[in-house]
Structure 1
């Protein structure tokens, strides 16, 4: 159980030393009617798409800052995209966070949303059309002239594609940690955990070995049958006995180290790796994409510690397709609230992003 104990120590350490983030501004929960299929008018089914709206900083005029919601209920993204709020206060912007169809409360067919006959309407193309319709309505209702979209990870890809596919709807986009090249099969889909390994090796070359030992030990115990599974259950203090789904357990533990929604301390890889090494010492004592070069007004930001950066745009493609590489930055760290623990590089990145967005709004 030595390897598993090391892993548990590292995981538990990530819940310590977490600085409470500022609270996002108040919002109202609203809904807008959307077509289930925007591209086939023989189907007239509709659903109610949820979105959050905040006018805390808006003064009756100003731009719309629009978050292109990604794979999850919109609350999680609203609570973890503080940089948008900081910019909104500076530019007196109206704030809207749109929920992606098929997530949260935006379920086209209620309890039968995920049946085979309905799941085909869960596509990025349909989601982008939802956002275009919503923005059109918001422009009319609030007499908005300028719209800037924001998104991180898959939401960042949506934000970039939104500007590319609907340039009449959005005037500029901040696409943070958007691995569009992986989706386009221009980068190996297996490169993600390769970079995760490199991140741990940069802290301490022993860390990847300890993690591999832990996962190998899980496999060994699981192969022993009921008794081995019982030991894993007790070690991880699982809510219910582990049967045979060790893959889910292993993937869950991996995601703890990489999830941007988890309450992690600054430099979580460093914290986890140092805990692994300390535990060791203690234990010894004990899809092909469209050509984006034709687009404009998109910021692609990536942290060099972010495994998804292997599929991101890391070099500027033109004067208006700007790449910002954040040294020491993690997965769309620039979209989070400002924090005293932020590396200087992310502070500089946000200032550059702010400058570029200001130019879009004024032009």
Structure 2
């Protein structure tokens, strides 16, 4: 799940948009005429992109405009009569690596499933409009994405002779929510769903995120979040005196001299630094190395060891050491702490813009559907300085969406999907206790047919990654339990 503001631009989306695409593949199907494809894919080539024709607006029959949506196929494990697995894309480019590895492929091999991955509209190469203007972004929503999935499923089933096959939706993070909602809204099209780390409750203010960060840091070392808080408080005090700005610029290796002209300048800087801890906690020990994701060896243990190392200096100095470690790891020459630069990038509507990889699109979805703003509006977390209004004001800055409109949009989302009170069947909700997003997900069984799998000690979407020897026993059990549920549900 993407994090808020331009901070997600700092790391070039590598950490945040890992679950944008997962798909279904079929192996020995011959004589199929792909009516909607721009290009063919050779049998067994699971990384070649294919294209599917979609409507721009599924909810306006008078609008006949169409576009091409990217998808991938892996039919290596498919056996005639087997199920179809559909991996749902999310807030970033679809990654073909998921067509070659991942827990869902382990399930596919055992169950003889065809695997498809559909990229989300407006992300990656799936460009429905000529640019990312706010006028065009009105076609970007979870509801349009679900309609894309429904149409894709319907046409692919017909064209590939899979009408009688049982389809299973997979997704992690926002795509996990889509997987649950796909089953909820289109029960006649999808037989079951695995909704991993799925935030089902939309909320404008999400201070619980940082509360979980506190608890997750404390699970490694009880002093760790206290030291982070001391460092953050020290930095807050330093920011009150412009004479310290040169020191701060040097300590955190900023790209340009620190300038604090408004409260949002300081809020942006403080959130950027806090993000070092937020990101590591969210993806702690999650085995993303197979994707080539840098930074996967930086864990809560690593950060807390730095924060506990008195030889480095006071907590503030250790905090700066964490920032430099992250920059070195991601090969960043310096840290851009300028909100004006963020504003420039986020209001660039070109597909070639710095935020077109997903930043401008995802923040638009938070402003018009979900909120999810990870504010410091709670005393039970280690940071300070980026309150709710800092986040919400960006909706007006970037898209001319007011705070009142954000609140109304979030209320409509919960009304439409049901929030925590989702009522459906054959959906499993895996979540990790370290992952801050579990605070908005399902962690207790709703019913026997809507089970939760709460995995102690694991982070965001951990059960989706390939198994490894270092996995916690409870993570292995969770993967096995999801497979058991799929076996049972596919018999129904």
TM tier, shorter chain? 0.7 to 0.9
Are 1:200 and 2:217 counterparts? yes
Contact 1:305–1:329 (8 Å) recurs in 2: yes
2:125 match: secondary structure: coil
Residue of structure 1 equivalent to 2:102: 82
TM-score, normalising length: structure 2: 0.62
Q: For 1:216 and 1:357, locate their aligned partners in 2 and report how far apart those are by CA, in whole Å.
A: 49
- 1:215 corresponding residue in structure 2: 232
Q: 1:327 aligns with which of 456, 459, 474?
A: 456
SS at match of 1:28: coil
* Structure-2 residue corresponding to 1:307: 436
TM-score (norm 1): 0.82
Of 208, 222, 241, the match for 1:191? 208
The aligned residue for residue 148 of structure 1 is: 168
Would you say the 8 A contact 1:32–1:49 is kept in 2?
yes
CA distance in 2, matches of 1:217, 1:44: 58
Q: Quick one: distance in 2 between partners of 1:238 and 1:61?
A: 58
Quote the offset at 1:325 in angstroms: 1.0
Q: Quote how far apart the aligned CAs of 1:159 are.
A: 0.5
| Most deviating of 199-208 and 231-240 | 231-240
Contact 1:149 1:174 (C-alpha < 8 Å) held by counterparts:
yes
Say which SS state the counterpart of residue 66 (structure 1) adopts: strand
Residue of structure 1 in register with 2:307 after alignment: 276
Specify whether residues 208 and 251 from structure 1 end up closer, same or farther in structure 2 by C-alpha distance, changes over 3 A only.
Answer: closer
**Using the alignment, how far apart are the partners of 2:281 and 2:436 within structure 1?**
9
**Residue of structure 2 equivalent to 1:50:** 70
Indicate how the Cα distance of structure 1 residues 216 and 147 shifts in structure 2: closer, same or farther if over 3 A, else same. Answer: same
CA separation of 1:240/1:109 partners in 2, compared to 1, >3 Å: closer, same or farther?
A: farther
In 2: Cα distance, 1:52 partner to 1:82 partner:
15
- Alpha-carbon offset, residue 165 of structure 1: 0.4
Take 2:115 and 2:240, find their aligned partners in 1: how far apart are those partners? Answer: 52
3-state SS of 1:62 partner: coil
- Residue 37 (1) aligns with residue 57 (2): yes
CA displacement 1:218-242 (0-9 Å, x = unmatched): 44555555x7555444444456665
Q: What is the Cα deviation at residue 197 of structure 1? A: 0.4
* Alignment check: 8 A CA contact 1:156 1:174 kept: yes
Give the alignment's Cα RMSD to 1 decimal: 2.8
In structure 2, what is the Cα distance between the partners aligned to 1:256 and 1:91? 35
| C-alpha distance in structure 1 between counterparts of 2:422 and 2:134, whole Å | 36
Residue 92 (structure 2) pairs with residue 62 (structure 1): no
Secondary structure of 2:134's partner? Answer: coil
Aligned 1:157-176 pairs, distance under 5 A: 157-176=177-196
Q: Matches of 1:317 and 1:242 in 2, distance apart?
A: 50
Shift in Å at residue 248 of structure 1? 5.5
146-155 or 26-35: which moved more? 26-35
Distance in 2 (CA, whole Å) between partners of 1:354 and 1:136 is 25
Aligned residue runs from structure 1 range 277-296, under 5 A: 277=308, 279-283=309-313, 287=410, 288-289=414-415, 290-291=417-418, 292-296=421-425
Is it true that 1:117 corresponds to 2:135 in the alignment? yes
* Post-superposition CA distance 1:299-320 (Å, at most 9, x none): 0111122211111111111121
Distance 1:216 1:68, change over 3 A: same
In 2, the alpha carbon distance for the partners of 1:104 and 1:323 equals 31
Change (3 A) 1:163 1:128: same
CA contact (8 A) 1:175 1:298 kept: yes
Partner of 1:52: helix, strand, or coil? strand
Instruction: Choose between structure 1 and 2 for higher RCO, CA contacts under 8 A separated by at least 6 residues.
Output: 1
Q: Pick closer, same or farther for the CA change 1:282–1:239 going to 2, 3 Å.
A: closer
240-249 or 34-43, which moves further after superposition?
240-249
Unaligned runs of 5+ in 2: 1-14, 16-44, 318-409
CA distance in 1, matches of 2:252, 2:59: 48
